Amino acid sequence: MKPLPQISEAEFEVMKVVWKHAPISTNEITETLTQSTKWSPKTIQTLIKRLVTKGALSYTKQSRVFVYTPLIREKEYIGQKSRSFLARYYDGDIMAMLSAYMEDDKLSESEIDTLRALLAKGSKNRRN
């Protein structure tokens, strides 16, 4: 499996829009992002071009409109980033990370309940 491209925070914002709405045109991406950021349409188009160059997006031309689709899956990219974060800050020890979050009261009751459910699901999957 080839490594996923390095994506900046700004490029990630573009990717989130594409992942949510793909296939999506340049105008639709621009319209969405100008509502939630202070970026100019030119800035957004530059970010889109960078993502195409990096191999994160592909496009087709439909008459005079460019339509974009992701070449990487959101879950795969976020999983890579999570593993990178874990390795960098907690020496790959997920227990150390969770302990730090729990000790600092950074996890809500709802998040703890979600973790319990995920652990139960993971435990069931391993048994099957």
How sure is the predictor about 111, in pLDDT bands with cuts at 50, 70 and 90?
confident
Segment of 10-19, 72-81, 117-126 carrying the highest mean pLDDT = 10-19
Q: Which residue has the higher pLDDT, 80 or 66?
A: 66
How sure is the predictor about 128, in pLDDT bands with cuts at 50, 70 and 90?
low
Helices (H) and strands (E) in the chain, counts: 6, 3
Is the previous residue joined to 23 through a cis bond, with omega within 30 degrees of 0? yes
In this structure, which topology does domain 74-127 adopt according to CATH? Penicillinase repressor fold (1.10.4040)
Which of 1.10.150.300, 1.10.10.10, 1.10.287.3510, 1.10.287.110 is the CATH number of 9-70? 1.10.10.10
10 CB neighbour count, 10 Å cutoff: 16
- Would you state the structure tokens that stand for residue 57, as one six-digit string? 């997006």
* Spatial separation of the C-alpha atoms in residues 73 and 4, rounded to whole Å: 10
The segment(s) of the chain belonging to CATH 1.10.10.10 are: 9-70
* Spatial separation of the C-alpha atoms in residues 27 and 31, rounded to whole Å: 6
Q: Give the model's pLDDT for residue 46.
A: 97
How sure is the predictor about 2, in pLDDT bands with cuts at 50, 70 and 90?
low
Q: What's the rounded mean pLDDT across residues 87-97? A: 77
Q: What's the rounded mean pLDDT across residues 47-52? A: 97
